[in-house]
Amino acid sequence: MGKKLDDQKGITLLEVLLSIVLLVIVLTSFAGFYTISNVCEKNEDKISTTQTAQQIVNIIELELTRDILSTSTECPSLPCTLNEDKLAGLLDRSFDNTQKILVSFNNGEVGLIRVEVSVEDRSNPDSSSRTFTYIRR
């Protein structure tokens, strides 16, 4: 018929160590994938806030003049800070509600207005970006 297996007592220490080593190798590779995907997600959020801040700076540089700023009811004198709703009214545009936007206008060097644009992702407060520019006209 076949052999009797009565003389086997269990697995050896070498077999246990080999299985633990193989398990550690497999789990380490999965942990690496998880870490990489987590870093990529954080980078996407950071890139998104940076792009939004740069777009707002470009809009301000192209469309906003000293006259528009000084005659507006949102920012009648410097320094002033506008949130996304007030900035949207000033520039006659709408902005994405997934990000918190603050724009600060301050006196800069002679004849310039210093503009600071801060963008923060509402779902991930760790992801934020700040950009500066000047209005010359």
Q: Output the pLDDT for position 23.
A: 94
| Distance, CA of 74 to CA of 66 (rounded, Å) | 13
3-state DSSP call for residue 70?
A: helix
In Å, how far from its chain's centre is CA 19?
Answer: 42
Which of 107, 109, 101, 94 has the alpha carbon at shortest distance from 131? 101
Phi, psi dihedral angles at 18 (to 5 degrees)? -65, -40
Tokens of 10: 């269990």
Tens-digit pLDDT profile for residues 83-132: 888 888 888 888 878 888 999 988 888 878 889 999 998 888 788 899 98
Ramachandran assignment for 37, one of left (phi > 0), alpha (psi -120 to 50 degrees), beta (any other): alpha
Which pLDDT score, from 0 to 100, does residue 6 have? 61
pLDDT digits (tens, 9 = 90+) for 13-42: 888 999 999 999 998 888 878 888 878 888
The confidence band for 3, taking pLDDT boundaries of 50, 70 and 90, is low
What mean pLDDT comes out for the span 53-74? Answer: 82
The interaxial angle of helices 84-91 and 13-63, nearest 10 deg, is: 40
Cα(121)–Cα(52) distance, rounded to whole angstroms? 10
Q: Is residue 4 very low, low, confident or very high in pLDDT (cuts 50, 70, 90)?
A: low
Angle (CA) 9-15-16 rounded to 5° is: 95
Output the pTM of the full model. Answer: 0.66
